[in-house]
Amino acid sequence: MLLHIPGLFARDEVLRIRQALEQADWADGRITAGHQSAKAKHNLQLPEGHPLALEIGAALLERLWANPLFMSAALPNKVFPPLLNCYTAGGSFDFHIDNAVRQAKGSVERVRTDLSSTLFFSDPEDYDGGELVIQDTFGTREVKLPAGDLLLYPATSLHKVRAVSRGARFASFFWTQSLVREDSQRALLFEMDGAIQQLSRDVPDHPSLIQLTGTYHNLLRRWVDV
C-alpha cells in the first residue's frame, strides 16, 4: 500500500524548517547505511542526535500520533526517530531495500521496519530529479510531493532516489513497526476502517455499523503482533 498523507507541516513551518536545514552542518549520508546500501548511497545527512534533527523529529512524531490517516494506515507500535537528509549536486541513492531491523544510536530498543516514510521539505519545483522511485506488487511509482506532505509505503519495497541535477531536496525519513506485520492485512484493515468512518458520517444509526466495527476489531485482534 502506497499512501500520500498531505499537510503534516504548514507552509510557514516548512519555510522555517528549510531555512534551518540550509544552514545546518551536514555529514556523509552513509553513516546510517548498511554494508550494501552504503555502496549505493550518495547524499548528506544530519547525524543521529543532532539538535536540529531531534527538534524536527519530535515535532514530526507529535503530528504523526495525532494524524487519523497515519494511525489508521500504519497502526503504529513503534516509530524509529526521524532522520534528515539532503540530495544535491548529483546526490542519489540507487535501488535498495531498507534494513529489516533498526536500532537508534544510544538506544537498546529495536524497531522492525514494516513501513518506510518520506516527508518532503522541498517542493517539486525547487529541484530537478530527486524522484522517489518505488517498485512493488502495485508496479513502479515515481513520487515528488509538495513540501510538508508524507509518503507511507512498505519497507519491503525496492526503491531509490534519482540523482538531483538542480537545487536541493530536503526530507525526513523514518520507519514504523506496525501492530500488524503483513502489508496485505494492514491494507484490508485500512479499507475497512475507512468504510466504517464513511458509513458513520452517512448513516450513523445503521445497525450494521456495530457488526462491522466488531469485525474490524476481531480481525485486528487476530492479526495484532505485540
pLDDT at 31: 64
* Residue 45 shares a structural domain with residue 14: yes
Residue 193 known to bind ligand: no
pLDDT at 167: 97
Would you call 15 exposed, middle or buried from its count of C-beta atoms within 10 A (0-12, 13-18, 19+)?
Answer: middle
* Residue 157 shares a structural domain with residue 199: no
* Residue 112 shares a structural domain with residue 169: yes
pLDDT at 67: 98
* Residue 106 shares a structural domain with residue 80: yes
pLDDT at 29: 72
- The 3 state secondary structure assigned to 25-79 is CCEEHHHHCCHHHHHHEECEECCCCCHHHHHHHHHHHHHHHCCHHHHHHHCEEEE
pLDDT at 35: 53
State the residue range of the domain holding 78. 3-178
Report the predicted TM-score, pTM, of the whole model to 2 decimal places.
Answer: 0.92
Domains identified in the chain, total number: 2
The CATH number of residue 40's host domain is 2.60.120.620
Mean pLDDT of 75-97: 95
* Residue 170 shares a structural domain with residue 189: no
Q: What is the pLDDT of residues 97-109, one digit of tens each?
A: 999 999 998 899 9
* Residue 66 shares a structural domain with residue 143: yes
* Residue 124 shares a structural domain with residue 61: yes
- Report yes or no: 67 and 50 within 8 Å, Cβ to Cβ: no
* Residue 145 shares a structural domain with residue 197: no
pLDDT at 36: 55
The CATH number of residue 207's host domain is 4.10.860
Mean pLDDT of 43-57: 94
Q: What is the pLDDT of residues 157-216, one digit of tens each?
A: 999 999 999 999 999 999 999 999 999 999 999 999 999 999 999 999 999 999 999 999
* Residue 12 shares a structural domain with residue 116: yes
Residue 169 known to bind ligand: yes
Residue 159 known to bind ligand: yes
* Residue 142 shares a structural domain with residue 195: no
* Residue 91 shares a structural domain with residue 203: no
Mean pLDDT of 22-48: 78
* Residue 103 shares a structural domain with residue 214: no
